[in-house]
Amino acid sequence: MATSDKSDLVKIYHSLGRKKRLGTVILFVTSACNAKCRTCFYWQELNQPGDLTWDEIRRLSLGMPAFTDFWLSGGEPMLRRELTDIIHLFHTQNGVRWVNLPTNGLLPARTAEWISRICEENPGLQLDLNVATDGLHAMQDSLRAVPGNFTKTLETLEAVQPCRRKFPQLRVNVNTVICAENFDHVMAIAEFVKANCAVDGHYFNIIRGNAQDPTLKQIPTQRLATLYRDLQAVYDYYADQVFRRRTGLGRKIAQVYYHGTLALHNKIQLENISSPHPWPMPCTAGETSIVIDSNGDVRSCELRSRLANLRDYGCDFEKFWQAQARAEELEAIGRDQCWCTHVCFIHDSLRHSPKVLLYDIPLTYLESKFSSPSTQGHGFQAVPSLAGPAAR
Ligand code: SF4
Ligand code: SF4
């Protein structure tokens, strides 16, 4: 057996023993945003005063345990002056190994400069840059409510290419939010990106939360499974790139888990699109993952209520972590049965379930390969691998 095959099996074996401790932090680095997306679930919180200061973030980092996965959010992260310092801080002080960085693509030159700096300063860090593309031409400008947005999106994707070629730890992806207005154009967007943009992945998320334009949430859910099936071809196209450096059995194992995990995400999302339906594993939000808003509010997940404000604890994360409010929240999550479609938390939770890792993922992979088209489901989320940062 080749060394890479062994290392893949060892990674999966270690995943089975993953302890339930904090591993994923979602940090809204700023509330400032230069777009007005009609799909935005955070629109009421945007452009407010009170972002955590750099000093407060440093204090937070000091009191936080080691964790691996760092999802940045906002606002527009490229508007946070200390963005590269924040990433460097959590990489060096908290051991972060993977960063998911979304951008609305409106600042091409800054994005190229900062991405390059992040890669230079943090050679051991895996970075996924996700550029939002919800439509082509006028549709992108309309959905994101910024004239000329589509042109800027393409400029950003072009501007980061030198960096993408230089740094193997950087993946540049396109992210598309599926909504009522672009539902029938999703495949055309995917084909355009394949033909015109040099990217490593194209991921699709269903519109969620309290969108600024509620009509965009009226997607034809009965056609969603068919859309996921059609997107299979896009998925296959990029999967070859993701695992292009692997060979033999290691490549096959990685592909089964990559395909199977994405298929399971979508199966769970389809089951929960209309009403809550139990996941195949307990939700571990608030235990293995936490959300920190730009003003220091802290929540178990983006869908549940604020638990506290970290400023009330002097930005001492450990004090918050031991607080009664969090213990009560963990009990409440179990009681509330608030099953949802949120992929970040689905993914984080499944990594802590040996049953899902050994049974549901391989089974869902087989189902997706051999079942009838109407029951297939594949979607594409920029997620870390089961055993850590995404493979290239
Ligand atoms: S979705 Fe992102 S880019 Fe668009 S308005 Fe909301 S925070 Fe800004
Ligand atoms: S099931 Fe969904 S809404 Fe409930 S705690 Fe988990 S992520 Fe949040």
135 falls in which pLDDT band (50, 70, 90)?
A: very high
**Residue 181, pLDDT above cutoff 60:** yes
Mutate which of 29, 37, 146 for ligand 1? The one with the most ligand atoms within 8 Å of its CB, which is 37
Look at residue 4 and tell me whether its pLDDT is greater than 60: no
Q: Which atom of ligand 2 is nearest to the CA of 286?
A: 5
Higher pLDDT, 85 or 236: 85
Say which range, 48-57, 239-248, 265-274, 359-368, has the weakest mean pLDDT.
239-248
Q: Is 285 in the pocket of ligand 2 (CB under 6 A)?
A: yes
Q: For the domain that residue 348 is a member of, what is the CATH number?
A: 3.20.20.70
Q: What are phi and psi of 388, to 5 degrees?
A: 140, -155
Query: What's the one-letter identity of residue 233?
Result: A
Which tokens go with 298?
């802290």
In a domain, 391, yes or no: no
DSSP conformation class of 108: H
More reliable by pLDDT, 263 or 79: 79
Which residues partner with 100 through β-bridges?
71, 128
* Residue type, position 89, single letter: L
The closest of 122, 129, 277 to 203, measured between CA atoms, is 129
Mean pLDDT of 157-186: 97
pLDDT(386) > 70: no
Cα–Cα distances in Å, from 3 out to 174, 248, 262, 384? 32, 11, 26, 22
Let me know if residue 163 belongs to a domain.
yes
Distance between start and end Cα atoms, the chain: 21
Crossing angle between the packed helical segments 248-272 and 3-16, to the nearest 10 degrees: 30
Ligand 1 center to 293 CA (angstroms): 14
CB distance 254 to 8 below 8 Å: yes
CA gap 243, 259 in Å, rounded: 12
The one-letter code for the residue type at 322 is: Q
Q: Report the atom number in ligand 1 closest to the C-alpha of 102.
A: 2
Tell me how many degrees the CA angle 114-384-136 measures, rounded to the nearest 5. Answer: 60
Please, are residues 72 and 100 in contact by the beta-carbon 8 Å criterion? yes
Give the pLDDT confidence score for residue 3 in this predicted structure: 44
pLDDT of residue 233: 83
Q: Which residue has a Cα nearest atom 6 of ligand 1?
A: 40
Is residue 62 situated within a structural domain?
yes
> Cα–Cα distance between 319 and 385 in angstroms, integer?
30
C-alpha–C-alpha distance, residues 102 and 215, integer Å: 24
Q: Is the residue at 382 inside a domain?
A: no
Let me know if residue 336 belongs to a domain.
Answer: yes
Choose one of 41, 328, 338 to mutate for the ligand 2 pocket test, by most ligand atoms within 8 angstroms of C-beta. Answer: 338
pLDDT in tens, 5-29: 455 556 666 666 677 899 999 999 9
User: Does 383 fall in a domain?
Assistant: no
Domain count for the chain, please give it: 1
Average of per-residue pLDDT values in the chain: 89
Q: Where are the alpha helices (DSSP H) in the chain?
A: 3-16, 54-63, 83-94, 108-121, 138-143, 149-159, 161-166, 186-196, 224-242, 248-272, 317-321, 324-336, 343-350, 354-355, 361-370
Q: Is residue 387 part of a domain?
A: no
Whether 248 is covered by a domain: the verdict is yes
| pLDDT of residue 374 exceeding 60 | no
Token reading at 18: 């993953």
Asked whether the beta carbons of 356 and 284 are under 8 A apart, the reply is no
Q: C-alpha 72: how far from its chain's center? A: 9
> Domain of 336?
3-375
Say which range, 37-51, 261-275, 311-325, has the weakest mean pLDDT. Answer: 261-275
For residues 355 and 126, give the distance between their C-alpha atoms in angstroms, rounded to a whole number: 28
Give CA–CA dist 82/61, Å, rounded: 14
Residue 300 pLDDT level (bands cut at 50, 70, 90): very high
* pLDDT, tens digit, 9 for 90 and up, residues 252-293: 888 788 888 888 998 898 899 888 999 999 999 999 999 999
Q: What is the mean pLDDT of residues 57-70?
A: 97
User: Residue 209 is encoded by which pair of tokens?
Assistant: 């939360």
Distance from C-alpha of 70 to C-alpha of 298, rounded to nearest angstrom: 15
Q: Which pLDDT score is estimated for 230? A: 87
